[in-house]
Amino acid sequence: MSQETSLTSDQLWNAALPILAEHINEATYDAFIADAVALEYTGQRLRLGVSSDFARDWLQRHHAQVIGDCIAQVAQQPVQLVMETLPANAAPPSPPAPVTLPPVETPVPRAQPSSEMQAAPLNPKYTFENFVVADCNRFAHAAALQVAKNPGKAYNPLFIHSASGLGKTHLIQAIGHAIANDPERSHYRVVYISAEAFVNHMISSMRDNTIDQFRRNYRSVDCWLVDDIQFIAQIEGPASEEEFFHTFSTLYETNRQVVIASDCPPRHLQLMNERLRSRLEMGIVADLRSPDIETRVAILEKKALNEGVHLSRDVLEYVASKIESNIRVLEGALLKLCAYASLNQVEITRQLAEEIIGDYSTSHTDRRISLQDILDYVASELNCPAEDIVSKKRTQNIAWARQVAIYLARELTDNSLARIGQFFGNRDHSTVLHSYNKVQEAIEHDEQVLWLINDLKATFE
Ligand code: ADP
Ligand code: MG
């Protein structure tokens, strides 16, 4: 008997789970993979029991390939995957058998209960008052103000697009604040959600058989602010687009306001549903462009004021001259400077600014950053050979360098998730999302990572 066939079905499946967690997005994993049961493994074929016909069809359609690949990786040979629906009252899966295969670093994500509405709270700083208006954003700002005054009437939908870090999220949340604080609209339901969270919520609602409630919830919103719509097409394909389209249409047809932010204009969105595209183009489409130097100075001044810091004109102009095309990075430089000055109890002078952020390269707005640039740079900064980063190796420092590179690729370039995944060692889009989220999480919890990313990004901006 060969070595592989000595694995039981449970052993095979339990060893494949952590790898699957790396390759399948969290919502799908929690909804359909976590409670799947390995029924039988013959050495050539694995029978997998899943909780519903829907789960079976969903996995077949979107994830059969990746599940098959992960199982084959553990079994060290091709395995035919057969998925079937478990009877409704099937016995609970037997406790997992001890796994004797090499451990994999990534923990399996915990299942999260799907809440009634997975809307995110608004950032209190993202108000119209804190938004500096200038030529680069005047039109989008005016449209946003009109929408806030007359939701559902003036411009519907409002579609705002720009490159990263130019104020889309700030502006659409400002609309949310204005409506939520309008005494005449105290009954309005304002919901801000990223397209990615919307799709994740949809998937978990399907799993929990609460899709009707999900639909009722989203289709009774008065002002729907959807961020980063570009991911709608990239996450799970037509089903999520379809659901989004119906929510959008219901709200639109009942004169409720829809505001959308995107990293590209509607015509460049990778959508399968042409009706959705034409609906998105039906209202006002406004872009945000890179601010000129005076605007950057004004933004810095406002941010510094909000932080309770006074900066001389000289310092403001120096910082503004260093970072041209991304306001988030501009803000990062300011915060770094303030943090340094307060830690060391020194005054912020031009000289200090030169020392602290002098190595931020001045950007050239027409410069296109390539994935190769990012790979080379991360390899040298994190001391990890480029060929390891694009390899299948999974040791901690290589995996981390890869995640950082993927994060930067998604933040700094216009490449699709699929293209980024392909470049960094033929990984699929859910791995790219997973890597991105890992780094994002680390940024939120670990100040060292925050500065690392801040500095890496600044070099490119
Ligand atoms: P995007 O969603 O386009 O990536 P964000 O809305 O997250 O960008 O903006 C990045 C940062 O820049 C935020 O902290 C935001 O407050 C700030 N910002 C962008 N535009 C402006 C502006 N016109 N005035 C003040 N701050 C701005
Ligand atoms: Mg944003």
Q: pLDDT tens for residues 37-48?
A: 999 988 888 999
Choose one of 130, 139, 164, 170 to mutate for the ligand 1 pocket test, by most ligand atoms within 8 angstroms of C-beta: 170
How far, in Å, from the CA of 231 to the mean position of ligand 2?
A: 12
Q: What percent of the chain has pLDDT over 70?
A: 89
* pLDDT for position 75: 83
- Name the pTM for this structure: 0.64
How far, in Å, from the CA of 23 to the mean position of ligand 2?
A: 25
Q: Give the CA radius of gyration of the chain.
A: 24
Measured distance CA(201)–CA(381) in Å, rounded? 37
DSSP element (H, E) containing 293: helix 293-306
Q: What structural domains does the chain harbor? A: 3-85 (3.30.300.180), 138-287 (3.40.50.300), 293-357 (1.10.8.60), 371-458 (1.10.1750.10)
Measured distance CA(461)–CA(458) in Å, rounded? 5
Q: Which atom of ligand 1 is nearest to the CA of 330?
A: 12
Residue 169: both structure tokens together:
């999220």
Q: Note every long-range contact of 396-403, with CB atoms under 8 Å and residues 24 or more positions apart, other chains counting.
A: 396/105, 399/105, 402/435, 403/435, 403/436, 403/438, 403/439
Neighbours of 112 (CB within 10 A): 12
For residue range 236-256, list pLDDT tens digits in order: 567 888 899 999 999 999 999
- Residue ranges around ligand 1 (CB below 6 Å): 126, 130-132, 137, 162, 164-170, 299, 327-328, 331
How far, in Å, from the CA of 147 to the mean position of ligand 1?
A: 19
For residue range 72-88, list pLDDT tens digits in order: 888 878 888 889 988 76
Q: Which atom of ligand 1 is nearest to the CA of 162?
A: 3
How far, in Å, from the CA of 419 to the mean position of ligand 2?
A: 21
Q: Which atom of ligand 1 is nearest to the CA of 302?
A: 25
| Per-residue burial over 160-195, b = 16 or more CB atoms within 10 Å of its CB, e = otherwise | bbbbbbbbbbbbbbbbbbbbbeeeebeebbbbbbbb
* pLDDT confidence band for 171 (50 / 70 / 90): very high
Residue 381: both structure tokens together:
């900064």
CB 172 within 8 A of CB 144: yes
Mean pLDDT for 262-276 is 87
